[in-house]
Amino acid sequence: MNRIDHLFKNKPHRVLSVYFTAGYPHLTDTVPVIKTLSDQGADMIEIGVPFSDPVADGPVIQHSDTVALKNGMTLKKLIGQLKGIRQTTGVPLLLMSYLNPVLRYGMEAFCRDIATQEIDGVIIPDLPPEEYIKEYKMLFTTHNLKNIFLVTPQTPGERIHFLDREGEGFLYVVSSRSTTGMKNAFSKEQTSYFRHLREMNLTNKLLAGFGISNRKTFDQACRYLNGAIVGSAYIKALEQEDDPVRGTRKFIHSIEGKNISG
């Protein structure tokens, strides 16, 4: 069974997925960050492939992309760094990349090489589901990779059902009309959108993303959905601590309220 499915089977509530940009703050931080996140209790990890023109991202992730690219991070290097990652962690790992770097690498080679490192899935925000189904779904299935679809507050009901039908792993619930970034709390409009999704009784598990930044927003999302994804807030936390291990530990604690271990 794919690790993502396995995770939701064992832990259907309060799943915490953490996004970070590979090669940030330093080129060689990728693996230590994954290890620390996993040790500190992150349930799933999204590894961002930095891109020169990340249109769906707000200022924090844009900045981390710029730094990572300056550090020399590339998709090729990242896949090299991930060699042997399964000796380090058993949590589901997703790669999040814009489409252009993946196409340059070659979609087939990409799927083959990340599957070899036992990556569980990908999120490609600018690859439309229709295009994916037509061009790449077979390839992903062959490699036991999940491609995660997004739903947004603007997605029409009919399309939500389509995405749920075709979706794999989970549905990424974009919390608000915005690029990635941080919010202190969700509005009534957002929580009723979460509730509405829950009441649709979809097949896929639902994780909220975009705007989850603290315990309050995490709790708000978890009240209605299966968990949430934190990105910008974690990258901010890494920025503010010299030691990524300490920064990560403090951060996970602040979101989940877990006891600090180790």
According to the binding rule CB under 8 A, does residue 99 interact with other proteins? yes
- Binding segment toward other proteins, per CB under 8 A, in 28-36, 39-47, 146-154, 245-253: 146-154
Rg of the chain over all Cα atoms, to the nearest angstrom: 17
Answer for which of 102, 114, 182, 229 binds other proteins (CB under 8 A) is 102
According to the binding rule CB under 8 A, does residue 179 interact with other proteins? yes
How far is it, in rounded angstroms, from Cα 232 to Cα 57?
9
Phi and psi for 74 in degrees, rounded to 5?
Answer: -140, 165
According to the binding rule CB under 8 A, does residue 131 interact with other proteins? yes
How far is it, in rounded angstroms, from Cα 260 to Cα 240?
19
Which of 5, 29, 39, 46 is labelled catalytic?
A: 46
Query: Quick one: 102 exposed, middle or buried, by C-beta within 10 A (0-12, 13-18, 19+)?
Result: buried
Closest by CA to 225, choosing from 48, 8, 76, 2, is 8
Closest by CA to 26, choosing from 84, 62, 67, is 67
**152 or 191: CB nearest other proteins:** 152
Interface size with other proteins, residues (CB under 8 A)? 37
Encoded tokens for 119:
């990556």
- Assess whether 131 carries a catalytic annotation: no
Residues of span 27-66 touching other proteins by CB under 8 A: 51-53, 55-56, 58, 62
State the minimum distance, in angstroms, from the CB of residue 135 to other proteins: 11
Which residues contact other proteins (rule: CB under 8 A)?
A: 51-53, 55-56, 58, 62, 69, 74-76, 98-105, 125-129, 131, 149-152, 154-156, 159, 174, 177-179
